[in-house]
A and B are shown apart, each in its own frame.
Chain A
Amino acid sequence: MNAPQPLHPGVNLDVTDRKSHEKASEVIFGFWIFLMSDLVLFAALFATYAAMSTQGIAQGPTPSEVFDLGSAFIETLLLLLSSFTFGFAILAMKYSTSRLRLLAWLGVTALLGAAFVAFELHDYYVMIVNNDAWPQTSGFLSAYYLLTGTHAVHVSAGILWMIVLAVQVMTLGPNPLVKLRLLRLALFWHMLDIVWVGIFTFVYLFGVAA
């Protein structure tokens, strides 16, 4: 019963909140497994994109004709920065007694995430207006929109989740349930960063370089 709970990957609450930490191991492990399955989904999308972006161009535009590296760079910065601020949110949850600090960092993170999604939608808009690059144009563009779109849907779901948890922090208080949920959302959010780094590299950089 009183044996120290083992540490799990990611931020641990053992030092400041023993009670939450005791319940963490199982749910956090479960969530890592969910992330793994989600990553398999992205892997399938990446593989599809890899095939389609070279062989599925048909009469449509090529990757280097449609991608705007500058915009993708800004999106990268926004998303990485949001992960950074989420880190501060988690530190605030772990070490600070102020609910406000946690909520403030969550708010900043959500705004950065929303800005990322907005930039991405703007990218789509520009591609369609300038190059007539609809998802229906070619296999390459279908794969591109599905890969980046799935990522954008994940980010949007993350923002919605963040709002729900912010409401729970305000109404239920940062109890163990809410804290563990925030830990899991953090893992989710950081995973989306990693996927985005993959997208930036393999879709945008490779696409423009070729």
Chain B
Amino acid sequence: MTPSPEDSRIAPAGNTVVDFRDVSLGYGNMASTDDPLILKSLNFQLPAGSFHFLTGPSGAGKTSLLKMIYLAQTPSSGEIALFGETIRPGDRLQSATLRRRLGIVFQEFRLLEHLNVFDNAALPLVVHGQSRKQYHEDVSELLTWVGLSHRLDAMPHILSGGEKQRLAIARAVVTRPTLILADEPTGNIDYAMGMRIMRLFIELNRLGATVLIATHDESLVRASGMPVLELKGGELYRRDLRTPRPTGGEG
């Protein structure tokens, strides 16, 4: 795959790609004060072209936060804007339109078991209306890059965990998305492949994509040297600060 810096889908630097305005998330009835909040009044922005890690202990709400960004979860209160557009809960057409600018790597991969490796990787392009002739070369090149060129016709159920992970990443970036969200993208692969995948994310970021990666992998975070957002007790902190403080207008 050869992403082009001129690609119009990549947001120009300086724009805010993700904007959380006083966003809270609880799993119970918000009218009841007894229900605990998973995320509390988050206010932060991700500028276009930024690269962040999202860390925090298990159950801190990393996946929930990502879900809200990719519009699979509605916040209990507050407002989210993506690419400058405020999300209207229940507007499925808006969700579909915005999701086309996202690349999502799911923690549990979510590969389609009845499609082979090539067709799984090409899925977002099919959804975008491209024909096989149009995307064949790009998808093949991308799969070579993630080390799956020898597995093009294999079905997902025979792939190893690491191969599934790489396929999920390939599917997420195949459309050259404006915003890449990854939930533990290196959780099932060895360090060398993890670094290689990270280089792919960094390369896409260098070309203008905004990247947010939720991870537990401290070594990966340290090696990349990228800024970290840390979820603790339902609040978001910048990890590089000595004294943790809630974010308010982060970015």
Q: Do A and B bind each other?
A: no
